[in-house]
Amino acid sequence: MKWAEFAMKVQSISKIGKLFTNDPYAQENYEELESLSLEMLNQSVLSEPTDQNLFVRDIYPTPNVSVRTFVFNEQNQVLLVQEKVGEEWSLPGGWCDVYESAASNAMKEVFQESGLTVSIDSVLAVFFRDKYKKLKKTLISEYAIYFKGSIISGELRPNHETIAVGFFDLDALPKLSHKNSFEEFSRALKAYESGKIEFD
């Protein structure tokens, strides 16, 4: 990773950390990371120095990108994680981080939320999530990329975002989260079974 990419990655982490942490000590640490990364960028990268996190700037508004991954076991049961907020279930996934590919983000999210290391085999679907959102916490548009993954290793375990992990029969699914609507799930599953990519 180049120094400029490293500094921008730190900018991204500090922006996300400041947004979500409730710990005042962590807030101070994220602010320091932001300051140090800005210093790096101002000294060696930017032609016009700034005192703001570069992710605050409006360059060109674009949709956010998230990933979800279908993973099946030998009994053809699908992997789901139970979210701590709302206690509903979804395919493992989340927002994509900067300077990482969509597939890399998908593998990382599966490991973080379920404990399983997976390979990414193929793209199943690309959805315009605004069509499926019943609860709109933000007006920012979102694209969701669905992948097919295969288990390499690991043991099921939740993390700080999830409270349970399990495999489920397709005809006995628990209540799905609004982050992963039944319509999206069904369309991506159709792509999994047919081998034909679904998209909006």
pTM: 0.79
Q: How many domains does the chain have?
A: 2
Last residue within a domain, chosen from 11, 33, 56:
56
Q: What angle do CA 33, 36, 42 make, to 5 degrees?
A: 135
pLDDT tens-digit profile of 55-70?
776 566 688 999 999 9
Cα dist from 89 to 47, 64, 126, 181, whole Å = 47, 21, 20, 10
52 and 68 assigned to the same domain = no
Which tokens belong to 40? 């790096």
Please determine, for residue 1, whether its predicted confidence score (pLDDT) is greater than 60: no
133 and 192 assigned to the same domain = yes
In the chain, the percentage of residues whose pLDDT exceeds 70 is 94
180 and 121 assigned to the same domain = yes
Helix (H) or strand (E) holding 16: helix 3-20
131 and 78 assigned to the same domain = yes
Domain that holds residue 86: 64-199
21 and 70 assigned to the same domain = no
pLDDT tens-digit profile of 91-119?
999 999 988 999 999 999 999 999 999 99
Beta strands 64-71 and 142-154 are parallel
151 and 99 assigned to the same domain = yes
84 and 116 assigned to the same domain = yes
